Structure 1
Amino acid sequence: MREIDGSYGEGGGQLLRTAVALSAITGEAVHVRHIRANRTNPGLSPQHLTAVMAVAKLCGAEAEGLEVKSREILFRPGRLVGGRFDFRVGTAGSITLVLQAALPVAVACGEGLWMRISGGTDVRAAPPLDYFCLVLLPLLSSMGVRVRIEVLKRGYYPRGGGEVAVEVLPSLPLQPLMLDAAGALREIRGYAHIANLPDHIVQRMASSALAELSAFPAPSINQAVLGADKAIGAGGAIVLVAQRAHTILGASAIAQRGVPAETLGSEAGRLLREEISAGATLDIHAADQVLIYLALAGGTSRFRARKLTSHALTTIWLLEQFLPVRFNIIEADSLKRVEVTSNPA
């Protein structure tokens, strides 16, 4: 059984989610201690618990310590299987964070698989659902991952209630991702939505994002106002996408009570502008989220990022504990150049 210190590095929920995902994929049991030890509310929250339980169901694992506020778990994986699964966070815990754990396992399964996940679709401290669909999934698609996500209903903090259906088709073997240069900027587009709030909020959010991107050719942002039939509670988000010749970059912001719509739109626009201007081939969040897939792909992958977050550095450390993979990181033209070699000699 592999021992993992859950307080290492960034020491948050992502380390736990990735650890159990890697346990399921490799078949190696894991004991995670000191879960989120440095957080103000240490231990498992409902969304962390749902993520671990989701992975456990996908691999028929035996697990101990699966309860809210638990600070350690034992996870003994079984065989990966396809099928139909229903995972419910029960709060506004993030659906995309559950997917961060469950999707790599579903891909590694090698069989058809369908999941319904309920919780928060667009909540703070997690990727908005549209970022996951418009940025991350196209990048994974270029590696051979075949996933379809249908948004059944949006849900926000504090009520949750959002639902998505996820279909994963057999995708193995994964192909490496070679992103040495971003290439020409082809278009900038975006999607901004609000639910059960005044229409002017989404308009202000989109306008301020467009102002940040005015130096680029003709950005366009689709705006949507959702009612009670399509969303539970009040909330919203803006996701911006830059399509370049060889890659795709994204940035986002989540609607928050007390934060002006203009601030949210400007933040998302500024972040995307910085990614484009830097010449990055993956934005800082995608650079974090694709790492496990790069490690599972054969051969060598490469990308350039403005910086590597503490999440990314912790994930790199964890991947090297479980898999025959080596990461090489060097500074190149004010960017982090990352090379990922799977099954190194």
Structure 2
Amino acid sequence: MATKILKFSGHNYFRQRLVLATLSGKTVKIDKIRSDDNDPGLKDFEANFLRLLDKVTNGSIIEINYSGTSVLFKPGIITGGKIIHDCGTARAIGYFLEPMIALAPFSKDPFNLTFFGITNDNVDLSMDIIRTAVLLQLRRFGIEEGLELKISKRGAPPLGGGEVNFKCPIVKALKPIQFTDEGRIKRIRGIACCTRVSPQNTNRMVDAARSVLNRYIPDVYIYTDVYKGEESGKSPGFALSLVAESTTSVLITAEQAANPGETPEDIGRRTAKLLLSEIRKGGCIGSPNQWLMLLFMVLSPEDVSKIRLGQLTAFTIQYLRDIRDFFDVTFKIKQDAESNTLLLTCVGVGYINYNKKTT
């Protein structure tokens, strides 16, 4: 019997479809990748991501046509282990690390990944947000012991030079979640970092952010993280990441990195306003992390999982459609008129990591 191939068009949602294919074991074909562009086909960073996917799996088959506008991916087994990968400078490390977080718990061996590249920019999630918010959310699904992200060197765009190490334990199965109580914001924490510029820039970012946030809440503490010499990468830069925590351990995030010509005060105020905007949307998880929580709900045991979200991003809406295609799971979505939030409910597929030997 021929294996059914799931077909998609275009370069959008490229990573998520490859991750869903890997987890579901389904072959996927993506065509018309920038076929009408002056520079058609896969970009360097997409080809680089395919190389990483090949490293963390065994037996995967990747076929790219001559023009690079079509990719056929037949997934193998997630093997993990110790891997070193250069992410280049076209996209930040977050572009590569985010999908790995989705795959890591279901690997044969625990992931021990070392990445080189850009640690903070305005396109992909920074290492600070992944470390202080994304990884903490995994605890709800029972992924705790040995989960670690270490930033050895920071790397600002355009030249990067950062180095991070990601470790993740493996699990036999996830836990279902009931995450619907938003609670009230009780404190805001943050990290202001800089590389190859005056350390004073971090203090200026902190002061500017506090001037906005202290009107909202008194408990605001922002750490300054100054990297020097070898650990400061190859380019000057500064960035700020903020995390608001509620009484029920909801984590809402915002971050910004400096563009050329911007002052630390610009970054401080802008990031603070972004955070307040995210908080206003409501829900138990910030916009950038919606997809990971929904994916793990689907992979949970055959039980009901429930989560409260603010507005669904366009990315999340497409992700829900892709989840239906790969796992045949649909979410029940109910509007809560009182809080203007959405309650999303699904029954997990009972995903078991057969690679993990029972102890």
Instruction: Provide the residue aligned with 1:270 in structure 2.
Output: 273
Instruction: From 307, 314, 328, give the equivalent of 2:311.
Output: 307
**Matching residue's letter, 2:242:** L
Matched position secondary structure for 2:179: coil
Structure 2 residue 303 is the aligned partner of structure 1 residue 297: no
Seen in structure 2, the aligned counterparts of structure 1 residues 165 and 326 have a Cα distance that, compared at 3 Å, is same
Give, in angstroms, the shift of residue 129 of structure 1: 0.9
Distance 2:35 2:142 in 1: 37
What are the equivalent positions in structure 2 for 1:1-345 lying under 5 Å apart?
1-7=4-10, 12=12, 15-35=13-33, 43-60=41-58, 61-65=60-64, 70-146=68-144, 147-214=147-214, 215-232=216-233, 233-246=235-248, 247-298=250-301, 299-332=303-336, 333-343=339-349
Matched position secondary structure for 1:325: coil
Q: Spell out, residue by residue over 1:152-191, the C-alpha distance to the aligned partner (whole angstroms, 9 max, x if none).
A: 2111221122111111211231122322111233321111
Is the CA contact 1:6–1:16 (under 8 Å) kept in the aligned structure 2? no
Is the CA contact 2:62–2:72 (under 8 Å) kept in the aligned structure 1? yes
Q: TM-score, normalised by structure 1?
A: 0.89
Q: Spell out, residue by residue over 1:100-124, the C-alpha distance to the aligned partner (whole angstroms, 9 max, x if none).
A: 2222222222532211111211122
Give, in angstroms, the shift of residue 17 of structure 1: 0.8
Q: Spell out, residue by residue over 1:119-144, the C-alpha distance to the aligned partner (whole angstroms, 9 max, x if none).
A: 21112211111011111110112212
Seen in structure 2, the aligned counterparts of structure 1 residues 82 and 128 have a Cα distance that, compared at 3 Å, is closer
Distance 2:15 2:41 in 1: 13
Instruction: Provide the residue aligned with 2:355 in structure 1.
Output: none
Matched position secondary structure for 1:282: coil
Moved more, 314-323 or 194-203: 194-203
Is the CA contact 1:148–1:166 (under 8 Å) kept in the aligned structure 2? yes
Is the CA contact 1:94–1:123 (under 8 Å) kept in the aligned structure 2? yes
Matched position secondary structure for 1:314: helix
**Matching residue's letter, 1:319:** I
Q: Spell out, residue by residue over 1:41-97, the C-alpha distance to the aligned partner (whole angstroms, 9 max, x if none).
A: 664323222222212222221111289x82221111222223211221222522111
Seen in structure 2, the aligned counterparts of structure 1 residues 123 and 36 have a Cα distance that, compared at 3 Å, is farther
Is the CA contact 1:300–1:340 (under 8 Å) kept in the aligned structure 2? yes
Distance 2:149 2:106 in 1: 18
Matched position secondary structure for 1:230: helix
Moved more, 224-233 or 186-195: 224-233
Percent of paired sites with the same residue? 23
Structure 2: runs of 5 or more not aligned:
351-359
Q: Spell out, residue by residue over 1:29-51, the C-alpha distance to the aligned partner (whole angstroms, 9 max, x if none).
A: 11111235688866432322222
Matched position secondary structure for 2:335: strand
Moved more, 24-33 or 86-95: 86-95
Matched position secondary structure for 1:259: coil
Structure 1: runs of 5 or more not aligned:
none
